[in-house]
Amino acid sequence: METDRFVRKIYLQKKRVGRRWHPRFTTGQKGTENPKRMYNEINLDEINLMQEPPAAEPGRQYYFMAKCRALVRELSGKLGRQPQACTKTFGCQMNARDSEKLTGILELIGYTITEDEHADLVIYNTCTVRENANLKVYGRLGVLGGMKKKQPHKLIALCGCMMQEPEVVEKIRKSYRFVDLIFGTHNIYKFAELLAACLEGDGMIIDVWKDTDKIVENLPVERKYPFKSGVNIMFGCNNFCSYCIVPYVRGRERSREPREILREIERLAADGVVEVMLLGQNVNSYGKNLPEPMSFAQLLREVEKIDGIKRIRFMTSHPKDLSDELIEVMASSEKICRHMHLPLQSGSSRILKIMNRRYTKEQYLALVEKLRRAIPDISLTTDIIVGFPGETEEDFEETLDVVRRARYDSAFTFIYSKRTGTPAAAMENQVPEEVVKERFDRLLALVQEISGEMAARLTGQTLPVLAEEVNSQDASLLTGRLSNNLLVHFPGDASLIGKIVDVHLQECRGFYYMGERY
Ligand code: 5AD
Ligand code: SF4
């Protein structure tokens, strides 16, 4: 049950228990369900807007989509053209997937989707994992405010992790009064309902929930790529690493029911998707709290059985929960990609303890060894934080030592950022900026040296590549990905996009390959 909301302004939802109502899904031809078409074939015009909105989800949201569509038509009449909407995503894959859900709704209700922020509706799906993510949003918001002076009908909406912070909402309420809609991570499924209120009304609407255990299934979603898709398998995080704000803004861990996940992937496969990325903050603890518990490895086994799915990726793994069962499933799988993102954060057992990571340097390295032994061609990537409070030169040397031994294919390196409300923010021994910068540069140089060497190890091999797009620099080339996630450019035409083709890896140029079709 969703708990109380810390801000609730202007928009008061009338709670009515209506008739149980479900959207009418029209399936594709002869019983083959086609998800994209299925959602688009719901005839929103058949929904009777004279009736009260239904109480049950997702029916309630389809009612509001119908309402939004009527309002967008009205707006279109006034503007003399189709209104445009632009969604900008900051942050991680979770946010990217959430933005696809927003775009799915926007398309369905009649907006034309654009990348241009001069659009009639602009949504920022924000990130707050590090301070500079927040600063970026404030900067760009100022620019949007300027645009709105020339486009008074423009709607500006903010959502995502940053909106889960009460101080942020307060700041926007006071200093960015031109914003029309603020909502959070827990009620993103209510977007149509909130947008309808926005299109009808005046003034800022704020609807942010502290937490929820609600998962609403079967809402529209518009994929960025026709041939690959993210699939949420769980939401939230229970780990409370002491530097991290995610558990506070994304709430407690909630796993989706396996049958819902599998049904979604079956529909994606029927719609031409060949690669899925299973998404969660800590996929290794998937299923622990389900009424009928299921491990992540078991879920992977089920996903593997789905015809049409050729590649399975997942993100992110926590080392403390990575099971032998998962390694076995990966090792024996034809479909699970040879890539593991295994965040290290620090190589010092002392710092790891204060970070509340619940593994030591030795345990981490043992895990890496086990993975490499079971899956020799695996590509390992990681996240590392430099300058966590109290990090000494010796601690930092331990991090460099793990990098040398684990030999990552690539690493995301971050300067520690103080996040208000997390235990680490209250720690007194913050590391001076110049020391952090110096360490950061040393780490980056080492990571780059090793990842250059690691990337080159496949030169001369012929490996399957999923062709993803026409190369942005040279239209005679396609850009694709190896199972281990490395990019490959090779001659080919657009008809190959979405297909897996064998490519001979001729030359490694730093972090990508130049190849030829075999
Ligand atoms: N400062 C710096 N980096 C952070 N991360 C999470 N919180 C912080 C923070 N406060 C990094 C971690 C995580 C990645 C997504 O972001 O490395 O794995
Ligand atoms: Fe943040 Fe740790 Fe959860 Fe990852 S596992 S989201 S770093 S709290």
Cα–Cα distance measured from residue 299 to residue 261, given in angstroms and rounded to the nearest whole number: 9
457, 474, 497 - which closes a domain? 457
Cα–Cα distance measured from residue 34 to residue 13, given in angstroms and rounded to the nearest whole number: 34
| Annotated binding residue 159 | no
Residue nearest to atom 7 of ligand 1 (CA): 244
Phi, psi of 501 (to 5 degrees): -125, 155
Q: How many residues does the chain have?
A: 518
Ligand 1 neighbourhood includes 296 CB (under 6 angstroms): no
The one-letter code for the residue type at 47 is I
Phi, psi of 391 (to 5 degrees): -65, 120
Q: What is the DSSP letter of 187?
A: T
Q: 357 and 498 share a domain?
A: no
Q: Which residues line ligand 2 (CB under 6 A)?
A: 237, 239-241, 244, 246-247, 281-282, 318
The domain that holds 243 is classified in CATH as 3.30.750.210
H/E stretch holding 182: strand 181-183
Is a pLDDT exceeding 50 seen at residue 351? yes
The domain that holds 90 is classified in CATH as 3.40.50.12160
Cα–Cα distance measured from residue 356 to residue 339, given in angstroms and rounded to the nearest whole number: 25
Ligand 1 neighbourhood includes 129 CB (under 6 angstroms): yes
| Annotated binding residue 86 | no
69 lies in some domain: yes
Which numbered atom of ligand 1 lies nearest the CA of 412? 17
Q: Do strands 254-255 and 234-235 pair parallel, antiparallel, or not at all (unpaired)? A: antiparallel
Q: 497 and 350 share a domain?
A: no
Q: 250 and 398 share a domain?
A: no
Name the residue of 90, 92, 129, 419 to mutate for ligand 1: max ligand atoms within 8 A of Cβ. Answer: 129
Which numbered atom of ligand 1 lies nearest the CA of 424? 10
Q: 110 and 140 share a domain?
A: yes
Share of the chain above pLDDT 70, in %: 92
| Structural domain count, the chain | 4
pLDDT tens column, 459-481: 999 999 999 999 999 999 999 99
228 lies in some domain: no
Structure tokens at 465: 């590549």
Residue nearest to atom 4 of ligand 2 (CA): 281
304, 334, 364 - which closes a domain? 334
Cα–Cα distance measured from residue 249 to residue 398, given in angstroms and rounded to the nearest whole number: 31
Q: What is the mean pLDDT of residues 225-245?
A: 96
Full residue range of the structural domain in which residue 183 is found: 5-207
Q: What is the mean pLDDT of residues 498-506?
A: 97
The domain that holds 499 is classified in CATH as 2.40.50.140
| Annotated binding residue 508 | no
Ligand 1 mean position, distance from CA 94 (Å) = 15
The one-letter code for the residue type at 19 is R
Which numbered atom of ligand 1 lies nearest the CA of 345? 17
Structure tokens at 13: 């939802």
Q: What is the mean pLDDT of residues 223-228?
A: 92
Of the bound ligands, which one is closest to the alpha carbon of residue 422? 1
pLDDT tens column, 306-316: 999 999 999 99
Residue nearest to atom 13 of ligand 1 (CA): 383
280, 314, 334 - which closes a domain? 334
Q: What is the mean pLDDT of the chain?
A: 90
217 lies in some domain: no
Query: Of 185 and 213, which is predicted with more confidence?
Result: 185
Name the residue of 244, 250, 433 to mutate for ligand 1: max ligand atoms within 8 A of Cβ. Answer: 244
Query: Of 11 and 224, which is predicted with more confidence?
Result: 224
Q: What is the mean pLDDT of residues 223-248?
A: 95
Ligand 1 mean position, distance from CA 385 (Å) = 6
Q: What is the DSSP letter of 225?
A: S
222 lies in some domain: no
Kindly tell me the burial class for residue 51, based on how many C-beta atoms sit within 10 Å of its own C-beta (0-12, 13-18, 19 or more): exposed
Is a pLDDT exceeding 80 seen at residue 399? yes
Q: Where is average pLDDT lowest: 61-65, 201-205, 411-415? A: 201-205
Confidence of residue 203 (pLDDT cuts 50, 70, 90): confident
Q: What is the pLDDT of residue 337?
A: 98
Of the bound ligands, which one is closest to the alpha carbon of residue 238? 2
pLDDT tens column, 154-167: 999 999 999 999 99
Q: 23 and 103 share a domain?
A: yes
218 lies in some domain: no
Q: 477 and 419 share a domain?
A: no
pLDDT tens column, 171-195: 999 999 999 999 999 999 999 999 9
H/E stretch holding 247: helix 246-250
Q: What is the pLDDT of residue 202?
A: 77
The domain that holds 403 is classified in CATH as 3.30.750.200
Q: What is the pLDDT of residue 42?
A: 65
Residue nearest to atom 1 of ligand 2 (CA): 244
Is a pLDDT exceeding 50 seen at residue 33? no
Of the bound ligands, which one is closest to the alpha carbon of residue 385? 1
33 lies in some domain: yes
214 lies in some domain: no
Q: What is the pLDDT of residue 366?
A: 98
Sign of the alpha-carbon dihedral angle for 12, 16, 17, 21: negative
Q: 46 and 87 share a domain?
A: yes
Confidence of residue 511 (pLDDT cuts 50, 70, 90): confident
DSSP symbols for 55-104: SSTTHHHHHHHHHHHHHHHHHHHHHTS--EEEEEE-SSHHHHHHHHHHHH
248 lies in some domain: yes
Cα–Cα distance measured from residue 267 to residue 92, given in angstroms and rounded to the nearest whole number: 24
Is a pLDDT exceeding 60 seen at residue 73? yes
Q: 45 and 187 share a domain?
A: yes
Cα–Cα distance measured from residue 84 to residue 285, given in angstroms and rounded to the nearest whole number: 40
Ligand 1 neighbourhood includes 194 CB (under 6 angstroms): no
Q: 76 and 187 share a domain?
A: yes
pLDDT tens column, 251-283: 999 999 999 999 999 999 999 999 999 999 999
Q: 347 and 452 share a domain?
A: yes
Long-range contacts of 367-372 (CB under 8 A, 24+ apart): 367/319, 367/322, 367/342, 368/342, 368/405, 368/406, 370/324, 370/327, 371/327, 371/340, 371/342
Is a pLDDT exceeding 60 seen at residue 6? no
Q: 52 and 182 share a domain?
A: yes
Q: 354 and 329 share a domain?
A: no
Three-state DSSP at 385 gives strand
Cα–Cα distance measured from residue 103 to residue 36, given in angstroms and rounded to the nearest whole number: 13
pLDDT tens column, 126-137: 999 999 999 999
